[in-house]
């Protein structure tokens, strides 16, 4: 065999070996390709990533693509789920409940999922209106100083009033967790019980002493008019919410003249309160029914006045 024939034979061998190697490589690639899946990953910001992977578990696929979840993020499907070709893995926020449950789990608190869900159950609200009784007060009229002895006598029977209260109540898992008063409305004012107290026979000097010691909550029977609950207020913010001393009628409040009364008395009405003439010049949220507020110069005077029950009539 000459040199040219030997060269041709060597070249033929090389070509055959090359073809065999190419075929083997192709088969390997096809075998590997048969196990690869195309999976789409959608990040929370909307960015989409399509990857060819041989992994089947979501967690492994994310790791392969260097994607790390924040503690408040989750995947759909779950990290431990197996996926197949064409699967879309979406990264999104966990719900508030899931975040709290995860935190509790990390802290090692022993509890059940049901208990955790109950702790974060939705809160419902209801508006409820109910009526309450306003107890009447008992007023005593001192008969000391009258010319004849008297016995205990009820001059006016007492009667409870009624007020309507509207509440906003919050419930969670059927249990009341918060109750807030929205409004109060007096439907019926209470009527005070007035009792005439027995006169004690004594000397003139002792009678005078007893009269001077009579509490502020009694009223002189010699004075005419209906018995009212009389309180006092001053121009401070605590008493009337402002400090300019101006009344609801637009006048400047003056001690010894100005009183606050309910709307049944027009501004300018003169009232005889236990023998002293006052003028209705002011109003007040708490001044309703048989209640009057007398203006004084200072808060200490208002506190010293306290609560008195005195006869009131419209002056002629």
Same domain, 19 and 67: no
Q: Is the pLDDT of residue 286 over 60?
A: yes
Q: Is a pLDDT exceeding 60 seen at residue 11?
A: yes
- Residue finishing a domain among 83, 102, 117: 117
Residues 180, 228, single domain; the answer is no
pLDDT band at 58 (very low <50, low <70, confident <90, very high): very high
157: CATH: 2.20.230.10
Same domain, 288 and 243: yes
Q: Mark which of 67, 88, 117 sits at the end of a domain.
A: 117
Residue 305 has pLDDT above 90, yes or no: no
Question: What average pLDDT does range 257-268 have in this prediction?
Answer: 91
> Within this chain, do residues 228 and 315 fall inside the same structural domain, yes or no?
yes
Band of residue 108 on the pLDDT scale cut at 50, 70, 90: low
Name the band, by pLDDT with cuts 50, 70 and 90, for residue 256: very high
Q: 15: domain range?
A: 1-30
Domain count, the chain: 4
Residue 106 and residue 188 share a domain: no
Q: Which region, left, alpha or beta, applies to residue 207 given φ > 0 means left and ψ of -120 to 50 means alpha?
A: alpha
pLDDT in tens, 117-133: 666 668 888 899 989 88
- Whether 111 and 136 map to the same domain: the answer is no
What digits encode the pLDDT tens for the residues 230-245? 999 998 888 877 778 8
pLDDT digits (tens, 9 = 90+) for 183-195: 888 898 888 888 7
Average pLDDT for 18-26: 71
Task: Give 166-177 pLDDT, tens digit per residue.
Answer: 999 888 877 888
């Amino acid at each position: 065999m000459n040199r040219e024939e030997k060269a041709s034979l060597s070249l033929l061998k090389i070509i055959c070996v090359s073809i065999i190697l190419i075929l083997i490589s192709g088969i390997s690639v096809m075998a590997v390709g048969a196990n690869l899946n195309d999976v789409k990953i959608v990040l929370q910001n909307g960015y989409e990533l399509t990857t060819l992977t041989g992994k089947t578990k979501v967690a492994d696929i994310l790791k392969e693509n260097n994607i790390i979840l924040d503690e408040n993020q989750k995947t759909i499907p779950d990290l431990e789920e197996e996926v197949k070709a064409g699967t879309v893995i979406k990264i999104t926020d966990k719900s508030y409940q899931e975040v709290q449950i995860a935190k509790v789990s990390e802290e090692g608190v022993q509890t059940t999922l049901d208990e955790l869900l109950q702790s974060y159950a939705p809160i419902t609200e209801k508006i409820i209106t109910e009526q309450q009784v306003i107890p009447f007060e008992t007023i005593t009229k001192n008969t000391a100083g009258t010319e004849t002895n008297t016995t205990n006598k009820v001059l006016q029977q007492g009667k409870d009033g009624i007020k309507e209260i509207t509440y906003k109540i919050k419930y969670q898992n059927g249990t009341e967790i918060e109750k807030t008063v929205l409004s109060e409305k007096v439907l019926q004012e209470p009527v005070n019980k007035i009792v005439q107290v027995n006169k004690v026979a004594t000397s003139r000097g002792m009678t005078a002493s007893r009269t001077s010691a009579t509490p502020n909550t009694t009223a002189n029977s010699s004075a005419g008019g209906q018995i009212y609950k009389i309180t006092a207020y001053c121009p401070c913010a605590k008493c009337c919410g402002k400090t300019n001393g101006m009344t609801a009628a637009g006048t400047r409040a003056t001690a010894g003249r100005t009183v606050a009364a309910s709307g049944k008395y027009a501004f300018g009405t003169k009232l005889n309160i236990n023998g002293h003439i006052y003028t209705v010049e002011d109003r007040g949220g708490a001044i309703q029914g048989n209640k009057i507020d007398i203006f004084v110069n200072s808060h200490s005077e208002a506190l010293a006045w306290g609560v008195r029950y005195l006869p009131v009539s419209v002056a002629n």
